[in-house]
Structure formats: structure tokens, C-alpha cells
Amino acid sequence: MAGVITASEPSWIALFSGLSPRTFRKLITALRRDGLDPVRQGRPWSLPLEDRVLLLTSYWRTKQTLRQLAPLFGISKSAANRIIDHLGPSLALRPRQRFRKDNVLIVDGTLAPTRNHTIAEQSKNCRYSTNHQVVIDADTRLVVAVGRPLPGNRNDCRAWELSGAKVAVGKAVVIADGGYRGTSLIIPHRRERGQAELPA
């Protein structure tokens, strides 16, 4: 079965991974340097490393199921699952311990649909989901922290406190949207009561 999506076509990289082709190539180089593409004994991977990484980033970015995503890469659902199980831990975030004084971070919550009802709850998107607090660096747009998953019906104010995201960033400057009113976060572009215009 021939796949539709491949990392050899740069336009697919930006669309499905959110990375520029140059950044994607740097990621592949770093993974090879870490020994993620050794010559295996026995049955080889059905996809080259570039396509396996694109599959993984597509899975994380688009929230498509493996049943939807695997045929696009020309492989079976179980092969896609093995790829994600193998590569996923290698791309997992290492928690940052401290940030520079001039670092500005941005936080927002995202709802991830899941069938695991032990933690998920019905949320505003009418699906069982979990609330994940994601913190990025404002300059590089790289993720620096992700909070523990909470039930999807938790609002962002509560999730910020309970998920561990607040503890993870320490005293760094963090900006957020209007969903975080009542927290100590900076909410730009919002007029206070009685203000006719936004402050400079």
C-alpha cells in the first residue's frame, strides 16, 4: 500500500508537523546522533526515520486517530502504533528547572479528546476530554512545560494551579488570555473596567 504523506515532500512537513523543513532536518539529525536509527537485526521499519518522525508529529499535532493516520503513510494501524510507542519517549519533554530573567512564557489550555473516562469529563466541546496546560517560550515558540492532564470540565484558572504548570515555571513572567483572570498571570490586550483604551 503506497502512502500519500512523506517527509521527502517539504510541503507535507510544515502542514503536518508545524515545523519548517530546516527545523525538521535538524530534529532528524539530532535523533540520528542519539542513536534512534540504528541498523536493526530482523525485520526493518516499514518507513524511514524521517517518515516515522513525521507520523509521530502528525499524530500529536492533528489529534487524528491511528486508524485515520496510518493509511496516509501507507502502513497498518498496528505498525503506526509501534512507531509511536518507539519514538514518542525520545521526543518527550525534559522539564526545565530554571528560566532566564528576561524569559517571557505563554500559557494556554487545550482539550484532548480521550476514551479513558477515569480522568476525562465532558467539556465544552461535548466530548470526553482532558485539559492540558501547555507553556511555551514567547521567543522561540518551543514548549517548555506541560501540566498533568485534568478532567476537561476544569476551567483554565483551576487547571493552571492543579496541573503543576504553575510550579513548573516558578517565578518566570507568564502571559495568558482572558480565561486566566483571577490568577497572577499577565493578561495583555484587555481593558479593565472603566478604561476607554488599552494601556501602552
Q: Pick the more confident residue, 33 or 162.
A: 162
Task: Give the pLDDT band of residue 98 (cuts 50, 70, 90).
Answer: confident
Residues 6 or more apart in contact with residue 194 via CB below 8 angstroms: none
Residues 6 or more apart in contact with residue 19 via CB below 8 angstroms: 13, 27, 57
pLDDT, mean of residues 122-130? 77
Same domain, 131 and 58: no
Same domain, 78 and 136: no
Task: Give the pLDDT band of residue 153 (cuts 50, 70, 90).
Answer: confident
Task: Give the pLDDT band of residue 126 (cuts 50, 70, 90).
Answer: low
**How far apart, in whole angstroms, are the C-alpha atoms of residue 165 and residue 135?**
8
Same domain, 79 and 127: no
Percent of the chain with pLDDT over 70: 90
pLDDT exceeds cutoff 80 at 93: no
pLDDT at 105: 93
Q: Following DSSP, what letter does each residue of 81-94 receive, concatenated?
A: HHHHHHHGGGGPPP
Same domain, 113 and 80: no
Structurally, the chain folds into a number of domains equal to 2
Contact 137, 87 (CB under 8 A): no
pLDDT exceeds cutoff 60 at 94: yes
pLDDT at 115: 77
Contact 180, 156 (CB under 8 A): yes
pLDDT, mean of residues 131-160? 88
Range of the domain at 171: 104-180
pLDDT, mean of residues 137-165? 88
Same domain, 48 and 86: yes
Q: Give per-residue pLDDT as tens, 189-200.
A: 766 777 777 666
Task: Work out the mean pLDDT of the chain and round it to a whole number.
Answer: 84
Same domain, 120 and 54: no
Same domain, 80 and 109: no
Same domain, 116 and 175: yes
144 within some domain:
yes
pLDDT at 159: 92
Q: How many residues does the chain have?
A: 200
